[in-house]
């Protein structure tokens, strides 16, 4: 019997328990999934940040902590965590992010707002350029950024991507390093940020980075709020250097009611819904990692604690 502790929040238990039990059974795993187990007897911890479990020391036999989110900034620095940590990579999460990013890129590319808010009886055709003439840059070419980059190329956009290590992805201009970042920003008519939040990426998008963008660029940030220096973004919006920012993630969530982002005409706030981990698609990934951990095989999507993602 494998004792799996569900420590991903009481509010998620009802949605997750049945898909997880089904996935364990389909993987041939004899699991006792519960919200409470004697800590020393727990084999696997299914986890989400911002829950009561913050001290991992009593879980002396746990073989892995499986985060249900892609982002691990809320747990990776926990010094009591000595067990291997996996982040979430699952098909539904990737599909959701591709849909969000493509949808918001196309909104700005096609100028859809003009049609939605501008029905004033005046016939004034404004034809957008083709996608091939609208350069998109994606910061972060990982599971999500890479999939979004590929989808945008398929729609016809010239796509530049930037990552820590140099990549070679068909159809994408891949850059890395500080010079690469500057080059990537300089061509970014639409900038999509899908970096993880780490000490290296915190505040990466501030006045210096914004200064490299072409005038009138659009920013789309489903990455993390801490990647952006908010006052610098507000300043760039005020001058029009950044024409619009579509923001899904914020330094403080929920975004406080009196935050200026809510009322700024150049900002679209979406409430951290770019892509949600869906139990139906994520549970089989968790089951596979439970199987691996119990079989002493390398677990999938292991977090590099040094890099922070």
Can you read off the two tokens belonging to residue 5?
């502790």
Residue 2 φ/ψ, nearest 5 degrees: -95, 120
Q: Are 48 and 40 in contact (CB under 8 A)?
A: no
HSE-CB at 250 with a 13 A cutoff on CA atoms is: 22
Cα distance from N-terminal residue to C-terminal residue, the chain: 31
Q: Does the protein bind ligand NDP through residue 152 (CB under 6 A)?
A: no
Residue in this structure with the two tokens 């819904």, named with its chain if needed:
273
The DSSP string of 34-52 is ES---GGG--EEEE-SSSS
| Minimal distance, residue 89 CB to ligand NDP, in Å | 6
Q: Does the protein bind ligand NDP through residue 200 (CB under 6 A)?
A: yes
| Minimal distance, residue 103 CB to ligand NDP, in Å | 13
What is the edge-to-edge ordering of all strands in the sheet holding 64-67?
A: 31-34, 2-7, 44-47, 64-67, 85-86
- Is 292 assigned a catalytic role? no
Q: Does the protein bind ligand NDP through residue 225 (CB under 6 A)?
A: no
**Which residue lies nearest ligand NDP, judged by its C-beta?**
142
Which of 241, 272, 278, 291 is catalytic? The answer is 272
Using CB under 6 A as the criterion, what x/- string covers residues 74-103 for binding ligand NDP? ---------------x---x----------
Q: Are 132 and 156 in contact (CB under 8 A)?
A: yes
Say how many residues touch ligand NDP, by CB under 6 A: 29
Which of 87, 134, 224, 244 is catalytic? The answer is 224
Question: 232-291: which residues touch ligand NDP (CB under 6 A)?
Answer: 248-249, 272, 274-275
Q: Please identify which residue in 49, 196, 266, 279 interacts with ligand NDP, judged by CB under 6 A.
A: 196
CA 203 – CA 35 distance, rounded (Å): 36
Nearer to ligand NDP, 223 or 284 (CB): 223
Question: 9-68: which residues touch ligand NDP (CB under 6 A)?
Answer: none
CA 233 – CA 219 distance, rounded (Å): 10
Q: Please identify which residue in 53, 136, 144, 220 interacts with ligand NDP, judged by CB under 6 A.
A: 144
- Is 107 assigned a catalytic role? no
CA 143 – CA 300 distance, rounded (Å): 13
Residue in this structure with the two tokens 């029009």, named with its chain if needed:
240
Q: Please identify which residue in 67, 137, 163, 189 interacts with ligand NDP, judged by CB under 6 A.
A: 163
Q: Are 66 and 286 in contact (CB under 8 A)?
A: yes
Q: Please identify which residue in 29, 46, 135, 145 interacts with ligand NDP, judged by CB under 6 A.
A: 145
- Residues assigned a catalytic role: 224, 272
Binding site for ligand NDP (CB under 6 A): 70-71, 89, 93, 140-145, 163-165, 194-198, 200-201, 222-224, 248-249, 272, 274-275, 309
């Amino acid at each position: 019997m494998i004792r799996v502790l569900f420590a991903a929040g009481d509010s998620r238990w009802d949605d997750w328990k049945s898909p997880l039990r089904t996935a364990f059974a389909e993987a041939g795993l004899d699991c006792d999934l519960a919200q409470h187990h004697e800590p020393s007897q727990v084999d696997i911890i299914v986890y989400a940040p911002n829950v009561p479990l913050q001290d991992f020391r009593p879980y002396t036999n746990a073989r892995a902590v499986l985060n249900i989110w892609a982002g691990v900034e809320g747990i990776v620095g926990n010094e009591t965590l000595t067990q291997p940590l996996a982040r979430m990579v699952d098909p539904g999460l990737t599909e959701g992010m591709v849909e969000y990013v493509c949808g918001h890129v196309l909104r700005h590319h096609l100028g859809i707002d003009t049609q939605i808010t501008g029905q004033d009886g005046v016939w004034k055709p404004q034809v957008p350029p083709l996608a091939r003439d609208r350069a998109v840059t994606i910061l972060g070419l990982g599971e999500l950024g890479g999939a979004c980059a590929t989808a945008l190329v398929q729609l016809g956009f010239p796509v530049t991507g930037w990552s820590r290590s140099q990549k070679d992805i068909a159809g994408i201009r891949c850059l890395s390093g500080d010079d690469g970042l500057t080059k990537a920003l300089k061509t970014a008519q639409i900038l999509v940020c899908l970096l993880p939040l780490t000490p290296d990426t915190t505040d990466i998008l501030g006045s210096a980075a914004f200064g490299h963008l072409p005038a009138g660029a659009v920013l789309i940030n489903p990455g993390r709020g801490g990647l952006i220096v908010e006052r610098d973004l507000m300043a760039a919006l005020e001058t029009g250097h950044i024409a619009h920012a579509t923001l899904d993630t914020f330094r403080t969530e929920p975004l406080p009611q009196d935050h200026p982002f809510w009322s700024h005409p150049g900002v679209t706030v979406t409430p951290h819904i770019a892509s949600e981990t869906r139990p139906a698609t994520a549970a089989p990934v968790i089951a596979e990692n439970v199987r691996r951990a119990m079989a002493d095989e390398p677990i999938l999507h292991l977090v590099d604690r040094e890099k922070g993602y």
